[in-house]
């Protein structure tokens, strides 16, 4: 695919944290296999001096989404914990990188990197119009971030080789939902 990256573009890498990698408490099968591809894209954006955003799930220890609080997930991505760290294999540029923490309040969950964060402002004040999206999980945080972007009038470009879903069925349905909403899927860049 020939997509030219312009000064209106940014990249977001969604939740590439240890707890979502194989062996983590909420593992997404094969999530580590997309790291080399994501690193390549990140380096391309870095070279072009485009901003790269890294979202992370960053929950208090008694977060509403945890089973102990009546939620659906085991405790995961507790702020400051080992499991909440980004995978060490993930390349993060020194300059022009932004970390977006979400799900930080006890009583709210946030699957979208736009929810309760400064992401929209950070993009708009830089004149960003298109947001390239990769990361995990396709059926949760990636999907909601993409739908959030559309809602806020950004054009989300989803990198097919840079996403992974919790289940194949979940992934398929999420892709259909994103397509229907107007997201663009790229085979590669
Ligand atoms: C996520 C489940 C719970 C995600 C976050 O990043 O997709 N999934 N919290
Ligand atoms: Zn979470």
Say what the pLDDT of residue 90 is: 98
Domain that holds residue 48: 9-57+87-186
Query: ∠ CA(32), CA(34), CA(38), 5° rounding?
Result: 120
E-assigned strand segments in the chain: 9-14, 52-57, 97-102, 130-136, 155-164, 184-186
Q: What CATH number is attached to the domain comprising 136?
A: 3.40.50.850
Domain count, the chain: 1
**Centroid of ligand 2 to alpha carbon of 86 (angstroms):** 14
The verdict on residue 1 lying in a domain is no
The verdict on residue 122 lying in a domain is yes
Structure tokens at 1: 């695919």
Separation in Å, CA 61 to CA 22, 25, 28, 78, 157: 22, 14, 21, 6, 33
Active site residue 57: no
The verdict on residue 74 lying in a domain is no
**Centroid of ligand 2 to alpha carbon of 162 (angstroms):** 20
DSSP 8-state secondary structure symbol assigned to residue 155: E
- Three-class SS state of 40: helix
d(CA 63, CA 4): 41
Average pLDDT over every residue of 74-90:
98
pLDDT digits (tens, 9 = 90+) for 44-65: 999 999 999 999 999 999 999 9
Active site residue 9: no
Please give the model's pTM, rounded to 2 decimal places: 0.98
Task: Choose the catalytic residue: 9, 57, 77, 102.
Answer: 102
Percent of the chain predicted with pLDDT > 70: 99
The verdict on residue 66 lying in a domain is no
Residue owning the nearest CA to atom 6 of ligand 1? 141
Task: Choose the catalytic residue: 19, 141, 143, 164.
Answer: 141
Mean pLDDT of the chain: 97
The verdict on residue 72 lying in a domain is no
């Amino acid at each position: 695919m020939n997509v030219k990256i312009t000064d209106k573009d940014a990249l977001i890498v969604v939740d590439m944290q240890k707890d979502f990698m194989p062996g983590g408490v909420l593992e997404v099968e094969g999530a580590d296999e997309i790291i080399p591809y994501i690193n390549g894209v990140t380096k391309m954006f870095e070279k072009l001096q485009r901003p790269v955003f890294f979202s992370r799930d960053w929950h208090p220890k008694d977060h509403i989404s945890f089973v102990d609080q009546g939620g659906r997930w085991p405790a995961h991505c507790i702020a400051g914990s080992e499991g909440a760290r980004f995978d060490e294999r993930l390349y993060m540029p020194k300059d022009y990188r932004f970390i977006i923490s979400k799900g930080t309040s006890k009583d709210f969950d946030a699957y979208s990197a736009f929810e309760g964060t400064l992401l929209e402002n950070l993009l708009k004040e830089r004149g960003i119009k298109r947001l390239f999206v990769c990361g995990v999980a396709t059926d949760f945080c990636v999907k909601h971030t993409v739908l959030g972007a559309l809602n806020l009038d950004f054009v989300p470009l989803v990198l097919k080789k840079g996403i992974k879903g919790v289940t194949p069925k979940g992934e398929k349905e999420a892709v259909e939902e994103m397509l229907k909403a107007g997201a663009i899927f790229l085979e590669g860049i």
